[in-house]
Structure 1
């Protein structure tokens, strides 16, 4: 179904408010992620936690967000985008307060899981609301601004996170989220009077949702526990669960996830490209945070300032790439971006204990440029290739690919750490093994991204491009 002009006759104030709240929410979730990555060594010292347990401060959040993204996207399609978005902001804000008060690493991880659920509610609805109110001819620009907000959050996370961790303690990072949450809720009640529920009245697929959640949990948790035996068992069970989920969804009259969307080549390969891109890039901040603070001996503040090069380039490039994707085939822009990311990752395969900081910053800038070129056009294709009533599911797909990719990225790092370091606190004696782990991770990520270049190109000219050409 190609939307008509009447589908997008929305008051400009509503458009601005929708873009504003979605972008603010898109800012503070990644801000939390990158600032916490910088704070992990400090959290580890406070709680006496090893590197593998510390990774679960990040992984627990990502796992919960990924598991709940698709079911909550369907709930939003049925009951209303604004309602689920608002509940998500409230849950995220309350969970932030509890994280700040956590007395142990286990409790912190538990409340990070709650944060992840709130984050899923935010991301599956924020992008869908933007897609609902903006015409396809201007949607790429709006998505570009929203993606840029993500990258601004990524940019400021290491800098502000490093400063706050060093001078105010890591708990202050969670407290900072509370005023942001209150601000967004206030704007929603003040400006957004409409509701978006294109599938109102349809039944919710409880069986499919439970199968999906169990399947994804087994796959992601099992992957993160490799190479242990229970990790392999859970991974195999998760793959079997995937086929059970697929069979159920194909028979369901009101599926939680319309798997027939994957008959659309643009939707399928754009989603896979996003999965690969995030799998290859998300752990970079974590790896370089460990490298800069442990091996090079920098304080959190300095490490954060060095890492900011990547997201700054993302924030600059993403809106420009989004606008370009409104005019020319997004495949060319996104594939170029994926290739640039692969080049940036390749430069880090040579990192050593005496690598010049200039080389590290240049490598991060190349990564940022590539990711900015890739993300907005790729997201534009995914959202533009489905009917309006599937915007929530498509938005959930974008979020799920991102979250699974991020979890796989951290999972790869955790697996390599488990093989080379084991469950020990990182001390100077472990620095050679830590550096070796970082090398292996970057080699794997480079290979992943190289494969992603071909997948991004193979999708062909997008249905979204054809839709715009028809207006």
Structure 2
């Protein structure tokens, strides 16, 4: 089998299972909250802590992958992911489980960067959009099937069965990496590691995102401001660094910067939707996790269909035009979801989810192609890290925004019927904010259409 096909198979399997555990566990959150006695705020951290870890370690993993090789990074990330998933099965309280989620995020940060960079390195520019589309399909296939599979497993066998089912496939990915892929793809072998930049970035993003989730308190405001200051120091350090962990000069390219901002706002606007709909189905409508998982299938199923189509189209049509069209549909879906209440017909919710799936299915592959195609071949690990970072920061902040709205509207309370009206209000407010963010993503995509294809910096 040709190297390109093997790489695509491994990368797509990796994309599937890095998303599967996150999405499948999300459906099981009410069960986890009941078993471990989590409040409405703490249960959001089951998802948010995972993505916070990914956000913190993605930028450093980009440089490490380029220096030591994409294959080695994939092997390391897979090993960490497997061990932390096994440990999660034996969790006896919420603290241990949340620590396992944190470690899983570290493993996934390496997998996200290395797998995408590996695809870009293995395929020619003429075939890159198609390959990215197939790889992104793995993400959407996991997003579509994981609520159903996760809901079924959780309902019949408990939440631990989700991890037990996933671990054998994660081991298979590790075996394929070791035995079938011989190329290493070392693009920064002589470049020293920018430890100072890595530490400053990680500290800044930690303070900013954690503070963001607590903006209802003075401590949260202080931490957010300090985080932004530290991130500003990071940018200043990287501009002077000969071998920066993340070359911020690439943001001088309007195509690169606009596509990254579009990705950030898109994920910030859309990621919390699954949690909002899941809470609506299980708490407001009273469905079990199995039924909720089946209904949650709608949006990602549309994404699975659209991702490879939009990926192929992005090789022929300006990818940022497609991205703008996608986020327009996303804004429509969020406008509809902002109307959810106890009397909303199920058909209305399904139509909103179809629009959501159509929008993000059109957006993601072209946006990724725009970012990856705007840097020189040698800098693909940096671009891949940027793609992953925008995604996970957006996802983490999206959950942080939902948690913040919960804190303002509901307070730190258990998810019981007494507080369901406040849950509905919180979800409506979040969807309206997300609709505005979708509009910002449309604008950002349109800004980059006439920019240069690539800028190279020495």
TM-score range relative to shorter protein: over 0.9
1:450 Cα deviation from its structure 2 partner? 1.2
Q: Distance in 2 between matches of 1:132 and 1:464?
A: 18
> 1:45-60 alignment to 2 at 5 Å?
45-60=34-49
1:238 Cα deviation from its structure 2 partner? 0.7
Q: Distance in 2 between matches of 1:291 and 1:216?
A: 31
User: Is 1:66 matched with 2:55?
Assistant: yes
Q: Of the candidates 307, 310, 313, which is equivalent to residue 299 of structure 2?
A: 310
RMSD: 1.3
Q: Distance in 2 between matches of 1:308 and 1:167?
A: 19
Q: Of the candidates 431, 451, 460, which is equivalent to residue 440 of structure 2?
A: 451
Q: Is the 8 A contact 1:95 1:111 kept in 2?
A: yes
For residues 142 and 25 of structure 1, do their structure 2 counterparts lie closer, same or farther at Cα, with a shift above 3 Å needed? same
Instruction: Give the aligned partner of residue 339 of structure 1.
Output: 328
Count of matched residue pairs: 456
> 1:195-234 alignment to 2 at 5 Å?
195-234=184-223
1:389 Cα deviation from its structure 2 partner? 2.1
Q: Of the candidates 81, 93, 97, which is equivalent to residue 70 of structure 2?
A: 81
1:463 Cα deviation from its structure 2 partner? 4.4
Instruction: Give the aligned partner of residue 151 of structure 2.
Output: 162
Instruction: Give the aligned partner of residue 346 of structure 2.
Output: 357
Q: Residue 350 of structure 1 aligns to a residue in which SS?
A: coil
Instruction: Give the aligned partner of residue 111 of structure 1.
Output: 100
TM-score computed with the length of structure 2 as normaliser: 0.98
Q: Residue 287 of structure 2 aligns to a residue in which SS?
A: coil
Q: Of the candidates 346, 370, 374, which is equivalent to residue 385 of structure 1?
A: 374
1:466 Cα deviation from its structure 2 partner? 11
**Cα deviation per residue 1:121-170 (whole Å; 9 max; x = unaligned)?**
10000000000010111100000000010000000111001100100101
Q: Is the 8 A contact 2:53 2:103 kept in 1?
A: yes
Q: Distance in 1 between matches of 2:452 and 2:145?
A: 35
1:30 Cα deviation from its structure 2 partner? 1.3
1:362 Cα deviation from its structure 2 partner? 1.1
Instruction: Give the aligned partner of residue 285 of structure 1.
Output: 274
Q: Distance in 1 between matches of 2:183 and 2:453?
A: 26
5+ long unaligned stretches in structure 2: none
Q: Distance in 2 between matches of 1:461 and 1:144?
A: 23
5+ long unaligned stretches in structure 1: 1-11
Instruction: Give the aligned partner of residue 264 of structure 2.
Output: 275
Which one is further off, 262-271 or 30-39?
30-39
TM-score computed with the length of structure 1 as normaliser: 0.95
Q: Is the 8 A contact 1:328 1:465 kept in 2?
A: no
> 1:133-282 alignment to 2 at 5 Å?
133-282=122-271
Q: Of the candidates 95, 99, 108, which is equivalent to residue 84 of structure 2?
A: 95
